[in-house]
């Protein structure tokens, strides 16, 4: 072995030009493979941080009646099926030791209304939550640019920057927080010169959309204008409100039991005090208020004369439950176990992964990751082809030398070892240098604070700042890739060199 490596090293020095070409390809390939693996790992970490830990959790529980798994950005007014038995679901979740946290929430589409009859309504996604529990589940998911957050037990809404801009585009109404002031710097550029030409309001009127048409319009006081730390354009469609206001807006059964998601005709039947059909037209049976206040019960809601029970927020309706897993628990195994537990308990719900729940966003993350992997593999293949071509030319040019070695007794295995040794030495030196340089670049890139506001690039970046990352597994993966490149690149030239005979050497001379 020592003799083979000695001869291989001398051959490298004798054929410097070709050795440098091979070395440069190995250096560049190792460098780019290291960077590619770093970007893929950074993207994985960023997706986990920004989507899993910032908005959806690892797993989302939805009703078995829900037709589509895409519950994040479902369009065309399709409502998400309500869940009425959260307390029973909670008991099932508490018995699963692999779950870390879970949070019930309401999520649906609403119409954004204005007082101007000639203006078309806009659309807004609503996320109804217990805000204190939401902040514990997703800490630091967003910051308040204006105003503050929702207070415990108080009604209100948090409007993201993107949602405010969209509302302004079709209404010319600029939303500011309640008791807040206009911040000119936050206005669109075209209106900053003349800020007094726009209308200002500190409340927004939303009418929930559901298939039973039992929703109503509610005036929400705006408590704050927020900005998500990452993927703000995507998540910025979601206005966050307290769960009871959300339920009233959607016409769902609330914690106080004052709203029920049933059609108007059924509500009238329920309000009858006798079998007399004239009771359908009794003014005392169904009370509907046209005044828009945040304290009113929704229109089309059955009113009772009995005192309101002590509200337990978990008694009302939800649409989904966000779930986070503990530590390094496998998502696949956790999903299987959780679905079995939910099915065995006959709770009428099912669990799906965050990728399915996020629809095109999860698909885009997988697509970008796949594209990066293909890019790394292409580098892999290109490096092999170039090195094979260079080494094969070197073998053919050295036919007299190899033939002479065969004539004095060198075996085919010795010739193969010589070529493999040359490639291995070049790979170890230049490829190793490429990996080291790649690691250094990956460490430097986050310090440069390369930012983007584009949500698709933020998925690639792992956040709003480009943050590739390398762990031990990534470095080992790059070393394995470099080893495979070395072996594959040397195979064909080794075969060519092994087949050179002394006769061919004499004929070539």
Measured CA to CA, the distance from residue 455 to residue 231 in angstroms comes to: 5
> pLDDT digits over 471-502, tens only?
888 899 889 888 888 888 888 888 887 887 77
> pLDDT digits over 116-161, tens only?
555 667 788 899 999 999 999 998 889 999 999 999 888 999 999 9
Element (H, E) at 186: none
State how far the alpha carbon of 25 is from the alpha carbons of 56, 183, 432, in Å: 43, 55, 12
Residue that wins the pLDDT comparison between 237 and 455? 237
Q: What is the pLDDT of residue 416?
A: 80
Q: What is the pLDDT of residue 157?
A: 95
Q: What CA dihedral angle connects 103, 106, 109 and 113, to 10 degrees? A: -120
Q: What is the pLDDT of residue 318?
A: 95
With CA atoms as reference, report the closest residue to 5 among 398, 424, 484, 492.
Answer: 424
Measured CA to CA, the distance from residue 109 to residue 107 in angstroms comes to: 7
Q: How deeply is 149 buried, as exposed, middle or buried, from its count of CB atoms within 10 A (0-12, 13-18, 19+)? A: middle
| pLDDT above 80 (res 275) | no
Q: What is the pLDDT of residue 153?
A: 83
Q: What is the pLDDT of residue 415?
A: 79
Q: What is the pLDDT of residue 257?
A: 59
| pLDDT above 90 (res 376) | no
Mean pLDDT over each residue of the chain, to the nearest integer? 79
Q: What is the pLDDT of residue 71?
A: 85
> pLDDT digits over 44-94, tens only?
777 777 788 888 999 999 999 998 888 887 655 578 899 999 999 999 999
Measured CA to CA, the distance from residue 340 to residue 334 in angstroms comes to: 10
Residues pairing with 57 in the sheet:
323
Domain ranges of the chain: 2-51+363-508, 65-347
**Contacting residues for 321 by C-beta, under 8 A, at least 6 apart:** 60, 61, 83, 86, 89, 93, 102, 103, 104, 105, 349
Rg (CA), the chain: 33
Residue that wins the pLDDT comparison between 306 and 191? 191
Question: What pTM does this model have?
Answer: 0.71
Give residue 279's pLDDT band: very low, low, confident or very high (50, 70, 90).
very low
């Amino acid at each position: 072995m020592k003799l083979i490596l000695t001869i291989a090293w001398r051959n490298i020095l004798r054929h410097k030009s070709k050795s440098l070409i091979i070395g440069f390809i190995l250096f560049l390939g190792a460098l780019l493979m290291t960077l590619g693996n770093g970007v893929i790992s950074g993207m994985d970490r960023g997706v986990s941080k920004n989507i899993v830990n910032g908005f959806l959790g690892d797993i989302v529980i939805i009703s078995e009646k829900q037709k589509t798994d895409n519950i994040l950005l479902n369009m065309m007014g399709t409502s998400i099926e309500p869940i009425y038995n959260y307390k029973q679901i909670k008991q099932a979740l508490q018995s699963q030791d692999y779950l870390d946290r879970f949070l019930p929430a309401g999520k649906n589409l609403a119409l954004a209304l204005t007082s101007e009859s000639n203006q078309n309504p806009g659309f807004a996604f609503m996320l109804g939550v217990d805000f204190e529990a939401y902040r514990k589940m997703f800490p630091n998911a967003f910051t308040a640019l204006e105003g503050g957050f929702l207070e415990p037990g108080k009604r209100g809404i948090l409007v993201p920057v993107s949602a405010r801009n969209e509302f302004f585009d079709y209404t010319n109404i600029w939303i500011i927080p309640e008791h807040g002031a206009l911040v000119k710097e936050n206005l669109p550029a075209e209106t900053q010169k003349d800020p007094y030409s726009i209308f200002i309001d500190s409340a927004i009127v939303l009418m929930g959309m559901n298939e039973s048409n039992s929703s109503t319009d509610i005036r929400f006081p705006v408590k704050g204008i927020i900005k998500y730390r990452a993927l703000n354009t995507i998540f910025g469609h979601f206005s966050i409100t307290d769960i009871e206001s959300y339920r009233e807006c959607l016409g769902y059964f609330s914690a106080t039991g004052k709203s029920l998601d049933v059609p108007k005709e059924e509500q009238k039947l329920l309000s009858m005090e006798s079998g007399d059909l004239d009771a359908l037209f009794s003014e005392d049976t169904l009370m509907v208020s046209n005044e828009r206040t945040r304290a009113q019960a929704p229109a089309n809601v059955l009113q009772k004369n009995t005192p309101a029970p002590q509200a337990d927020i978990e008694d009302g309706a939800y649409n989904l439950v966000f779930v986070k897993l503990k530590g390094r628990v496998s998502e696949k195994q956790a999903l299987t176990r959780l679905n079995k537990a939910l099915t065995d308990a006959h709770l009428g719900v099912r669990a799906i992964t965050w990728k399915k729940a996020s629809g095109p966003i999860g698909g885009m993350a997988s697509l970008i990751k796949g594209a990066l992997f293909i890019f790394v593999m292409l580098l892999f293949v290109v490096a092999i082809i170039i090195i094979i071509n260079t080494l094969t030319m070197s073998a053919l040019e050295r036919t007299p030398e190899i033939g002479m070695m065969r004539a004095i007794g060198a075996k085919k295995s010795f010739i193969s070892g010589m070529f493999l040794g040359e490639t291995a030495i070049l790979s170890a030196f230049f490829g190793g240098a490429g990996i080291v340089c790649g690691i250094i670049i990956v460490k430097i890139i986050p310090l440069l604070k390369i930012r983007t506001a584009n949500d698709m690039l933020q998925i690639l970046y792992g956040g709003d700042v480009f943050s590739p990352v390398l762990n031990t597994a990534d470095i080992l993966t790059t070393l394995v890739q470099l080893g495979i490149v070395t072996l594959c690149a040397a195979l064909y030239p080794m075969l060519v060199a092994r087949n050179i005979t002394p006769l061919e050497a004499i004929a070539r001379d």
